[in-house]
Amino acid sequence: MLKTRMSGNEAVAHAIRQINPDVMPAFPITPSTEIPQFVASMIANGEIDTEFIPVESEHSSMSAAIGSSAAGARTLTATSSCGLAFMWEVLYVAASSRLPIAMAVVNRGLTGPLNINAEHSDSMGARDSGWLQIYAENNQEVYDNFLQAYRIAEHPDVKLPIMICQDGFITSHAVENITLWDDDKMKKFVGEYEPRHYLLKEDEVMAVGPYAGSPYCMEAKKAQAEAMKRAKQVILDVAKEFEEITGQSYGFFEGYRLDDAEYAVVAIGSVCGTAKDAVDAMRERGLRAGLLKIRVFRPFPAQEIASALKNCRAIAIMDRSEGYNAVGGPLGAEVTAALYRAGAQAKVVNIMYGLSGRDVRVKDMEKIYDNLVKLGDGEQVYSETCPYVGLRE
């Protein structure tokens, strides 16, 4: 165990060093570029012997990852924003071919206008592609999540690719304190990849990527959907084992002062650090404020989220990704649906924040909690269905 300091990208690279995967195709894109750079330099210095493929695009990066994973190699890549969008077609191929590829996603907004800063529109755009998605608040979490990635993705009950997401620059480039776990313990925890079937298996041949007509295709999709459901238990089991080694506790989400909360914010990623400060300030003022920080977005723990929020009077669901559907963002839609299915009576508002890296301050979050009190009292606080915070007047 080593207490040190590093950025989120360095933390992911450190996890990759400990895992020493077989193959990494990658193409640079801000702010994830550092990850393949760190890997290339670790290979150049003999720290790991991963085969690096310097592909000519992200589409080829994911395509090569699919070939590599199908061939039987533990495979990873990294990307952001437009890079992830460029992979979109083949993300579905990776998931439906049941290939446990790990991808470090450093969240950045999709272009329009061009911008390089934190936003979740990239991975949210891929939310229905069949990939597992795990998000982090800080460098420690993205490191720990990456160490757990292959255990979840490669599990025989799952066999699905996985995105390990962190916020661009805010997490990927900011240097913060971190605890690194011992190499031998992590190598043992992650273990060797031993797929049952692969292209290069000695005593069998295999065909990957068929044309499947209507009599067969729907069954394949159902099987894939079931694997996503089974991933829930695997994620919890892997987290428990990780906790036994490291003492770090992970679940589908983190509830911060949520147990007795009447007013809750639901959010993903680095904004949760800011929200926690606001929760503490509101609690000082005697308000029962809480936070639900989503870690696992795919599979979506709908019932568990609804259950954790069941005592709340008012809830603000924070989206860092516009849905452009005239009512809000993806997190807003999914959490609201989860609450409705559970019969919740809480007042709900979907809030848009932090687009294209717009900063969110503690006082912005405090204002949201103040408004939640009014909302809970039945007051018409917001004139819009999905109000923006931090927008210039």
Partner 1 sequence: MVQKTFNYKELQNRPERLAPGHRMCAGCGGTIAVRNVLKALHPGDKAVVGNATGCLEVSSYMYPYTAYEDSYIHNAFENAGATLSGVETAYHALKKRGKIKDNYKFITFGGDGGTYDIGMQSLSGAMERGHDLVYVCYDNGAYMNTGIQRSSATPQFADTTTTPSGTQSDGKPQGRKDLAAIMAAHNIPYVAQTTFIGNMKDLYVKSDRAIYTPGPAFLNIMAPCPRGWKYDAPDIIEICKLGVETCYWPLFEVAEGRWLLNYEPKKKLPIEDFLKKQGRFKHLFKPGSEDLIAAFQAEVDRRWEELLTRCNA
Binding site for partner 1 (CB under 8 A): 22-23, 25, 49-51, 53-57, 59-61, 63-73, 75, 89-90, 93, 199-200, 202, 205-213, 216
Beta bridge partners of 135: 165
Q: What's the closest the beta carbon of residue 12 comes to partner 1, in angstroms?
A: 20
**Shortest gap between Cβ of 52 and partner 1 (angstroms)?**
9
Cβ 78 to partner 1, closest distance in Å? 15
Q: How far is the CB of 206 from partner 1 (least distance, A)?
A: 5
283 — phi, psi (to 5°)? Answer: -65, -40
Task: Output the smallest distance, CB 63 to partner 1, in A.
Answer: 4
Q: Do 311 and 260 contact (CB within 8 A), yes or no?
A: yes
Shortest Cβ 39–partner 1 spacing (Å): 13
Q: In Å, what is the CA distance from 130 to each residue of 87, 89, 134, 163?
A: 13, 12, 13, 10
**Which helix (H) or strand (E) element contains residue 139?**
helix 139-153
Q: Could you give the CA distance from residue 248 to residue 143 in angstroms, rounded to a whole number? A: 11
> Smaller CB distance to partner 1: residue 58 or 364?
58
> Given the complex with partner 1, which of 64 and 258 has the nearer CB atom?
64
| Shortest Å distance, C-beta 7 to partner 1 | 28
User: In terms of CB distance, is 218 or 327 closer to partner 1?
Assistant: 218
Shortest Å distance, C-beta 71 to partner 1: 4
Distance between CA atoms of residues 216 and 223, nearest Å: 11
> Which residue type occupies 256?
Y
Q: Beta partners for 301?
A: none
Please say which residue, 73 or 360, places its beta carbon nearer to partner 1: 73
CA 4-45-154 angle, 5° bins: 70
In this structure, what are the phi and psi dihedrals at residue 19, rounded to the nearest 5 degrees?
-80, -35
Residues near 209 by beta carbon (within 8 Å), at least 6 away in sequence: 93, 97
Which CB sits closer to partner 1, 211 or 324?
A: 211
Please give the Cα distance from 186 to 198 (Å, whole number). Answer: 25
CA-CA-CA-CA torsion sign (210, 300, 269, 41): negative
What contacts 226, CB < 8 A, 6 or more positions away?
Answer: none
Instruction: With beta carbons less than 8 A apart as the criterion, state whether 169 and 118 touch.
Output: yes
Between 86 and 252, CB nearer to partner 1: 86
CB of 116: closest distance to partner 1 in angstroms?
Answer: 23
Nearer to partner 1, 98 or 288 (CB): 98
Distance (Å, whole) CA 190 – CA 146: 10
Q: Which is nearer to partner 1, 215 or 286 (CB)?
A: 215
Q: What is the dihedral of CA 276, 281, 285, 288, to 10 degrees?
A: 0
Sequence letter at residue 290: G
The residue with tokens 């920080």 is 293
d(CA 160, CA 155): 9
**With respect to partner 1, which residue has the nearer C-beta, 85 or 331?**
85
Closest separation between CB of residue 88 and partner 1, Å? 11
